[in-house]
Chains A and B, each alone.
Chain A
């Protein structure tokens, strides 16, 4: 079969306006902050950090004799005043209150938090929690042994204690557990602010009890609160910031960024400065079908509707982990390389959209991308394809089948591969023709194997809503039986895991049916055991065991196991 001419169906839903506003664009001068400056610790985070460093300096001063004596005198003076308040009826109550900081309380809080994080699949927060706990516990142990401070002297100690006193371990552990709960369970905003106020009470109660019983010096408590609050606070704000890893109280994908006021303002500025268009509104769009970015519907002030894809560092990392997982599970497919920066990732998609558009393929016309945060967050802008439906939900007519297969043929002829053909990425327009979206995985001069997989994937997508025989007959118009056979010989679960899941749900073994229709072809193996894969698997296994054993040991030493 021979190739036909271009399908002349490049999708240009938007008015030409986007490209005509060059004059309104503005270059950001050197030194001016980006539209969405990088997340910071915020005022309270910085204040805690400064207080903790101050506390640490105070603690270190205890290693020098004159200041140690002075601080101890001050501590004793405070404890003596507190001891004057002791009363027979209050002391047993204070001893009971100490249970607030007991190992069992901390264990309960810790495991409850972990359980919620697992249930809601907040893996990032879970990872940050474990690592920060590991560091916190090690630091606490080291400081306790370094200072080796006795329990208060000069005032009768009337409560239970354990080990050296500085910093106060129960207070530090309770503060850490509660702050970690606030940052992993309470969503940013009113809920978190209320939770922050709420956790002050148990910490204050424990502090009062320990001072009353004279088991800790006041400076032990100050240092403990500083450490227990600052370490989780800085860890979560730095490594799981809300703008990139928002807490969502449902079991869902965490890949999506929060489209809050701050981000909307940044998108407005970026679109105006970098593309010369004025934003009227922006809202998340079709989030359920998006795995690796946050899709947006953008409306300009002249009613032009555009489609945006927000890419952040979290998406790049997710892509990297996904590719590592695939490599370990299936072997490294010959053309999969992770991206090193978000800029490169978004550049790739924009470039592929332009190449495909120039090849006459039906893709949403690209308008470039804008930078929100340098090297961390970008917004890719394309035309919005109006009234199109995903092929998984749309009616698949003979026109659709014919056009879809012709598009694959055109990709072959142009030396291109889409590499992610699935129902969500094949849209059906009202006239029955298709449009391809999500060209992020696209490739120029792909291997013949990749092209063959694209064909088989498109045929399966079409057959999921029709039947294998009809699709096969249409395919013969553009491809030889041998080419079709090659496609299904190259396709396996490793190449298109999501399509295989859909076929299982569908119930029909479409792959087997297509293989029956096509001439026999030896299977093309893609799963390759290489020295690299073996090495990588070994390293990941050893690394995983090491990390788990270190964490388990840390949890055990912290009394959490």
Chain B
């Protein structure tokens, strides 16, 4: 009995020892079936958004780790830190909500269908600090970059490659097929 209690306690401690960030890694909003549960929750957080941002599978650089992930009724916030061993790590954030303010930003041609793209540069002194917004029907996604050092252009490129969009209908269809397979 004592051994069983200790065993259960140890198992619970080990389980409890896993941090939220570690378990969140397994629930990243990947495009397709793999991330369907997370992208569906993101869709619920922005109920009128026609597009839902998602991550291209296997496109996340190995040096990037999840710093924070929060999906609530106000929207989605996902933050990555690139190369945590660096003294000046890069931070890339994704914010997804029903709307965002694009005042003071510059409109540029969008690389994502069905969206308008806006850029805003805060600083290019010794790195890159700024944000990029995609505005579409019922929603907005903003990527914030804080990338000190010379390798900032690679970080922006990696983020551009990593993130894309899925139509809301596809996200709902993936959820429905998971719950009620044909």
Contact = CB atoms under 8 A, between A and B. Distances in A.
A160 B72 contact: yes
B13 A135 contact: yes
Nearest to A136: B16
A157 B23 CA distance: 26
A150 B72 contact: no
Given A148-B37, A157-B44, A162 B15 contact: no
Given A65-B179, A145-B23, A162-B72, A150 B18 contact: no
B17 A138 contact: yes
B70 A139 contact: no
Contacts of A153: 44
Contacts of B23: 141-142, 145
Contact of A135 (B16, B40, B74, B181): B16
Interface string B170-182: 0000010011110
A164 B74 CA distance: 14
B27 interface: yes
B78 to A, nearest CB: 13
B15 A69 contact: no
A148 B181 CA distance: 18
B70 A138 contact: no
A553 B73 contact: no
A173 to B, nearest CB: 15
B104 to A, nearest CB: 29
A454 B125 CA distance: 77
A138 B72 contact: no
A150 B19 contact: no
Given A138-B12, A163-B72, A150 B40 contact: yes
A139 B18 CA distance: 9
B19 to A, nearest CB: 7
Interface in A293-342: none
B121 interface: no
A69 B20 CA distance: 27
Interface string A137-172: 111011001001111010001011111100000000
A37 to B, nearest CB: 13
A135 B9 CA distance: 8
A398 B119 CA distance: 97
Select the residue from B9, B70, B72, B73 with max chain A CB neighbours within 10 A. Answer: B73
Nearest to A550: B17
A373 to B, nearest CB: 14
B41 interface: yes
A84 B181 CA distance: 30
B73 to A, nearest CB: 5
B5 interface: yes
B156 interface: no
A162 B74 CA distance: 9
B181 A141 contact: no
Interface in A238-252: 238
Interface residues of A, number: 31
A398 B180 CA distance: 95
Contacts of B20: 141, 557
Q: Is the contact region of chain B dominated by helix, strand, or loop, or is it mixed?
A: helix
A502 to B, nearest CB: 40
Contact of A150 (B5, B44, B180): B44
Contact of A137 (B16, B37, B179): B16
Interface residues of B, number: 29
B84 interface: no
B26 interface: yes
Given A68-B179, A151-B44, A238-B5, A163 B70 contact: yes
Nearest to B14: A138
B52 to A, nearest CB: 13
A553 B19 contact: yes
A134 interface: yes
A142 B18 contact: yes
B105 to A, nearest CB: 29
Contacts of B26: 145
Given A150-B41, A151-B41, A161-B72, A554 B179 contact: no
B24 interface: yes
A9 interface: no
A141 B17 CA distance: 10
B44 A135 contact: no
B2 to A, nearest CB: 10
A550 B71 CA distance: 25
B13 A159 contact: no
B38 interface: yes
Contacts of B40: 150
A492 interface: no
Interface in B5-63: 5, 9, 12-13, 15-20, 23-24, 26-27, 37-38, 40-41, 44
Contact of A160 (B70, B73, B175): B73
A138 B16 contact: yes
Interface string A20-32: 0000000000000
Contact of B24 (A68, A145, A553): A145
A148 B27 contact: yes
A72 interface: yes
A142 B16 CA distance: 8
Contact of A161 (B18, B73, B178): B73
B15 A163 contact: no
A238 B1 CA distance: 12
B107 to A, nearest CB: 33
Contacts of B72: 160-163
B15 A138 contact: yes
A135 B12 contact: yes
Contact of B27 (A68, A134, A145, A557): A145
B15 A142 contact: yes
Contacts of B71: 162-164
Nearest to B74: A160
A83 to B, nearest CB: 16
B55 to A, nearest CB: 16
B168 to A, nearest CB: 13
Contacts of B73: 157, 159-162, 215
A339 B130 CA distance: 65
Interface in B137-182: 175, 178-181
A34 to B, nearest CB: 15
Given A135-B13, A137-B16, 14 more contacts: A69-B180, A72-B179, A134-B16, A135-B12, A135-B16, A136-B16, A138-B13, A150-B37, A157-B73, A161-B72, A161-B73, A163-B71, A164-B71, A550-B17
5 contacts: A69-B180, A139-B12, A141-B18, A164-B71, A215-B73
Sort A-B residue pairs by CB-CB distance and give the 10 closest, nearest first.
A138-B16, A148-B37, A162-B72, A145-B23, A135-B12, A160-B73, A161-B73, A135-B16, A151-B44, A150-B40
